Amino acid sequence: MSQPFTAIATLIAKPGQQDALEQHLRALLAPTRAEAGCGQYDLHQDLANPLAFYMIEQWASDEALQAHDASAHIQNFRAKAGDFLEHFDLKRLRTLV
Q: What is the pTM of this model?
A: 0.94
User: What's the distance, Cα to Cα, between the start and end of the chain in Å?
Assistant: 22
In the chain, what's the furthest Cα-to-Cα distance?
Answer: 42
pLDDT, tens only, 8-67: 999 999 999 999 999 999 999 999 999 999 999 999 999 999 999 999 999 999 999 999
Angstrom distance (rounded) from CA 97 to CA 93: 12
Predicted local confidence at residue 1, as pLDDT: 60
One-letter identity of residue 3? Q
Query: Which one, of 58, 68, 61, lies nearest residue 3 by Cα?
Result: 61
- Residue that wins the pLDDT comparison between 95 and 84: 84
Mind listing the domains of the chain with CATH numbers? 5-82 (3.30.70.100)
